[in-house]
Amino acid sequence: MPPDSAELEQISTRTLAHYEQHAEDFRAGTSQHDVSQNIAALLRHIGGRPPFTLLDLGCGPGRDLKALTRLGHRAIGLDGARRFVEMARADSGCAVWQQDFLRLDLPSGHFDGIFANASLFHIPSRELPRVLRQLHATLKPDGVLFCSNPHGDDQEGWNDERYAAYYNLATWCRLLTAAGFAKLEHYYRPAGLPRAQQPWLASVWRRLAE
């Protein structure tokens, strides 16, 4: 069952505490992950001429902020974990906002694209439609949202000390469509493996006019 209001605060606090406590290990364990396929999927769908203004939603220690900046774009990070925000600011030189995903405060019509790599799956299903509408509102007209999440059969709950929701493709498409997005493409990762060995569902979406 989706969490009630009292549980939402616990979910946020406990999940962020896990990342705070394991920030150094997380940085070491993910620093060499190759997500160039995902970055390319976002950028190729953004119209207009670069550089683009991009939000790295759930930027963690800042690995992808550095990659986006090296490509010449204006990247802003956002993360709820204080330690990650400190790391990302120091390592990337980018502006990084400390915000809980359940309490976002985003500018309207500001970003050409949002890179939500391995982040949105931490949002409880009850709150996800609201958060997706906030992401829709912070994109410019025809802006693009990239997201990559571990997929499953629409179950949610605790995975060790982190809350996670695992959607199948049909449910994920329904949620994004209801929030005002049109699907551009999707694929499973890592590339080149049987589906049973591809835990990640990546998808790219365009903001539709309201």
Q: Which domain holds residue 164?
A: 5-207
The CATH number given to whatever domain includes residue 84 is 3.40.50.150
> What per-residue confidence (pLDDT) applies to 1?
56
Angle at 157 between CA 154 and CA 159, to 5 degrees: 115
pLDDT in tens, 122-179: 999 999 999 999 999 999 999 999 999 999 999 999 998 999 999 999 999 999 999 9
Tokens found for residue 77: 């990070």
Give pTM, 2 decimals: 0.96
- For residues 117 and 71, give the distance between their C-alpha atoms in angstroms, rounded to a whole number: 17
Per the model's pLDDT, the better-predicted residue between 4 and 128 turns out to be: 128
State the total domains in the chain.
1
Residue with tokens 């670069």: 50
Residue 2 has pLDDT above 70, yes or no: no
Note whether 150 and 199 are within 8 A (CB): yes
Is the backbone peptide bond immediately before 190 cis, with ω within 30 degrees of 0? yes
Strand partners, 66: none
Of 20, 124, 162, the C-alpha closest to 81 is 20
Percentage above 70 pLDDT, the chain: 99
Dihedral sign (CA 181, 46, 147, 19): negative
- For residues 19 and 28, give the distance between their C-alpha atoms in angstroms, rounded to a whole number: 13
- For residues 189 and 201, give the distance between their C-alpha atoms in angstroms, rounded to a whole number: 6
- For residues 110 and 138, give the distance between their C-alpha atoms in angstroms, rounded to a whole number: 6
